[in-house]
Amino acid sequence: MNKISTLLVAGSLVAFSAPAMAQDSGSSFDGFRVQGVLGYDALQAGSSVDDDSEIDNDESIDGVVYGVQAGYDIDLGGAVVGLEAELTDSSAESEFVDGDFEGFGFGRVDAGRDLFVGARVGAKVTPDVLLYAKGGYTNAKLNILSNDGTTEYNEDFDLDGWRAGAGLEYALNPRTFVNLEYRYSNYSKGEVDFDGDLPDSERFGVDLDRHQVMAGVGVRF
């Protein structure tokens, strides 16, 4: 969790210290923004994938997701449009239970870093409350430890997909804000990132669902 927690703390400190440096934009939802995010993360095999070799295998992992987000919004009056990018990591991982690795049927699975680039559009419910929807591209890592009885494998799965979500943002003042959102991601393409001098594998089809509930605190400049 140390990989991103320092950035998360830094983002939270900026949210409270930067208002003095921010310029007056005349809007609570306009301009460059940066925030720390924290929430619940759940990954599971999608509807087109199932491993029935273990009846009790629920093919899912969950944990805490944490990271930083930056974006730029334009206030059009009643509506707000913007772009954003996010870097997160997660504590979600499978567990060894009763002689079997629970989760996905691969072996031990640890959720790695997740990158997101996308856009959002919102409507101002009140001058201080924004209701918004978002969508875009996401690239995630899964760290896989498995054993076929002869060879142990410790590789990364590099996954590409899309994300959609919705949330509420509340302006505490023209500079500082908090928000709460739900988002869903689906990963449909992947490759294996081999260690050492071996090239990455060819792209292949996957089906992985991700559900997240996120809270954030940030500042506008």
Please give the Cα distance from 102 to 108 (Å, whole number): 8
At 27 the pLDDT is 77
pLDDT, tens only, 176-219: 999 999 999 999 888 876 665 555 666 777 788 999 999 999 99
pLDDT, tens only, 75-118: 998 899 999 999 999 999 876 555 555 545 556 778 889 999 99
Can you list the domains of the chain with their CATH numbers?
A: 2-220 (2.40.160.20)
Please give the Cα distance from 107 to 215 (Å, whole number): 31
Least confident segment among 89-93, 121-125, 134-138, 190-194: 190-194
Between 178 and 143, residue with greater pLDDT: 178
Is 29:175 a contact under the CB 8 Å cutoff?
A: no
Please give the Cα distance from 13 to 19 (Å, whole number): 11
Is 60:102 a contact under the CB 8 Å cutoff?
A: no
**DSSP track, 5-35:** HHHHHHHHHHHHHGGGG----S-TT-EEEEE
DSSP element (H, E) containing 28:
none
Average pLDDT value over all residues in the chain: 80
pLDDT, tens only, 31-85: 999 999 999 999 987 765 555 555 545 568 899 999 999 999 999 988 999 999 9
At 66 the pLDDT is 97
Angle at 171 between CA 71 and CA 213, to 5 degrees: 65
Across the chain, which distance is largest between two alpha carbons, in Å?
65
Least confident segment among 5-9, 28-32, 93-97, 134-138: 5-9
CA atoms within 13 A on the CB side of 99: 1
| % of residues, the chain, pLDDT over 90 | 50
Please give the Cα distance from 109 to 103 (Å, whole number): 7
Check: pTM over 0.85? Answer yes or no: no
